[in-house]
Structure 1
Amino acid sequence: MQNSQGDAALVAAVAVVGLVVVRQLRTRPVRRVGSLVAPVVFGVLGIAGIAFGVASVVKDHPLTALPVALLVVSLAVAAGFGAIRARTVRVWRAPEGAVLRKGTAATTGLWLASVGAHFGLGQWIDHAAGAGLLGTASLYAYLAISLGTQNLLVRGRAAML
């Protein structure tokens, strides 16, 4: 039963990440608030996911410092990838005055590398925890920080136009 739940969670995670990447490749206006809606939603889901992950570990044994430190590292990596990706997003002013954004092939490549980094760190977190799904369940928090960082920096670039 747990394996089918894990498979369903993996399919859902791939679908969410795929949607995020596809949206990055579309030309879209840079909005003041709109670019923060997805990171806030992912943040709420991320908090719930981390709470679930912690609960899944502590039901078997106490949570130690190593998986917590690795989780913090993972979330810092998310911010780093977001900052790097922000520099690969094209930002320009359209003739009618709207500021537009569009991700590039480099943006996509960095998203894939970012997800790979999260997957690897998530596996390490879960191994270090010895039980539970803390690393796996932190995906939405990772996405919230990564996408939020990217969007804030792209908005900053847009404001300078």
Structure 2
Amino acid sequence: MPDGGNIMRGTNSEATAVLALVVVGLVIRSQLRARPLRRHGSLVFPVLFAVLGVAGLAFGIASVVKEHPLTTLPIVLLTVSLAVAAGLGAARSRTVRVWRDPERGVLRQGTAVTTGLWLTSAAVHFGLGMWIDHAAGAGILGATSLYAYLAIGLGTQNLLLRGRAAAL
């Protein structure tokens, strides 16, 4: 007979995967629309994701340490994951079209390559998240790092896009 902890862990993983797919899907959908590149608007979602990311990381760390001490490997993997998020955000920023429209100002629109890089980013986060959770031996630190991952990736992308827009 399975114990309740294993059942809950499986349910948390499935719910986290569904939530991740929904969030990434909404972000990709937003990226593919032609929309104004606003001075401060492009940082609203990264800031929101950062707040949620800090809460998620705190919850994830607590989920590990209630079982046993947190070791170095999950922290190193988490750091690598967040560095990869920044790198993929920088790569995505180069694939977004940025142009000036006389009536609407500076516009931006993601491309098929942008979508491919978002899907790659989601797959990388999922894989590294599973590795983090395996290395931690307990808890859901990898899964709960999603918002921090999105904050860093989207924040990097949007800051670099703002730089490109300023050059127009």
Same topology, TM > 0.5: yes
Match of 2:147 in 1: 140
Which residue among 11, 17, 30 is the counterpart of 2:18?
Answer: 11
Give matches, 1:1-40, under 5 Å: 2=8, 3-40=10-47
Distance 1:45 1:92, change over 3 A: same
Match of 1:131 in 2: 138
- Is this contact kept in 1: 2:39–2:162, CA < 8 A? yes
How far the C-alpha of 1:7 sits from its partner, in A, is: 2.4
SS at 2:26 equivalent: helix
Match of 2:167 in 1: 160
Aligned length: 161
Give me the whole-angstrom Cα distance separating, in 1, the residues matched to 2:87 and 2:12.
Answer: 31
Give me the whole-angstrom Cα distance separating, in 2, the residues matched to 1:63 and 1:81.
Answer: 27
How far the C-alpha of 1:97 sits from its partner, in A, is: 5.8
Which residue among 114, 119, 122 is the counterpart of 2:121?
Answer: 114
CA deviation string 1:32-87 (max 9, x = no partner): 11000000010011001110110010011000111001100000000000000000
Which residue among 53, 56, 59 is the counterpart of 1:49?
Answer: 56
Quick one: which amino acid aligns to residue 132 of structure 2? Answer: I
Quick one: which amino acid aligns to residue 129 of structure 1? Answer: A
Quick one: which amino acid aligns to residue 91 of structure 1? Answer: V
SS at 2:39 equivalent: coil
SS at 1:96 equivalent: coil
Match of 2:86 in 1: 79
Unaligned runs of 5+ in 1: none
How far the C-alpha of 1:100 sits from its partner, in A, is: 0.3
CA deviation string 1:101-148 (max 9, x = no partner): 000000000000011111111111111111111111100000000000
How far the C-alpha of 1:11 sits from its partner, in A, is: 1.6
Unaligned runs of 5+ in 2: 1-6
- Is this contact kept in 1: 2:98–2:108, CA < 8 A? yes
Quick one: which amino acid aligns to residue 72 of structure 1? Answer: T
Match of 1:62 in 2: 69
Q: CA RMSD, aligned part only?
A: 1.0
Give me the whole-angstrom Cα distance separating, in 2, the residues matched to 1:5 and 1:67.
Answer: 19
Q: What percent identity do the matched residue pairs reach?
A: 70
